[in-house]
Amino acid sequence: MEEYIQISWLNDFVFCPKSIYFHRLYGKTSSFAYESNAQFKGKLAHKAIDNQNYSTRKNVYQGIEVYSSSFGLCGKIDIYDEKKRLLTERKKKIVTIYDGYIFQIYAQYFCLLEMGYEVEYLKLYSKDDNKSYEIALPNQDITMYEKFKKLITDIQNFDIQDKININKKKCLKCVYNLLCDEVI
């Protein structure tokens, strides 16, 4: 059986490839054991989506399971407005639009397309400051689309024994830094 890549892993892998290994190592362990305060607050901000009570409109899908056999992806979307053909990825607070955020919404986009939904618009939404950011569709930003495909390949081929380039600033913020042999 082929293993699917969790959509939520895309941003994590960009942050640090070894974080996926540690996510899986912890498995079903309570996230309180390793989660940072920022991650905890992010999950709280996501509660309305997860509980599917963000909207009562029938054309607004929230927190539904999606998959793409073409890319080997699975996960959940945040919000899809079928009438507007708008897919929205919500974040607690967006200060910088990281590639990982775009890769997550691309993954959701490809999953929805493969499942027969029409998506014409992508948006990142920052809950804390109520700001929205339009994101170009993959066919409108070939550079990001190529980076997205490379990321999928990199995740599929990742070996925990491989040496990675580390960023000391990221490592200091990483919830797994005490477990990681990359940290100096």
pLDDT in tens, the chain (184 residues): 468 999 999 998 888 888 777 777 776 554 444 454 554 554 455 455 555 555 556 788 998 999 999 999 999 999 999 999 999 999 989 999 999 999 999 999 999 999 999 999 999 999 999 999 999 999 999 999 999 999 999 999 988 787 777 777 777 777 777 777 665 5
Residue 137 and residue 120: Cα distance in Å, rounded? 8
Which of 82, 28, 91 lies closest to 55, judged by CA? 82
Local structure of 73: helix, strand or coil: strand
pTM score, whole prediction: 0.82
The b-or-e profile of 48-62 (16+ CB within 10 A means b, else e) is bbeeeebeeeeebbb
Residue 94 and residue 134: Cα distance in Å, rounded? 13
Local structure of 56: helix, strand or coil: coil
Q: What is the DSSP letter of 131?
A: E
**Residue 17, pLDDT score:** 84
**Residue 49, pLDDT score:** 53
Q: Name residue 153's beta-bridge partners.
A: none
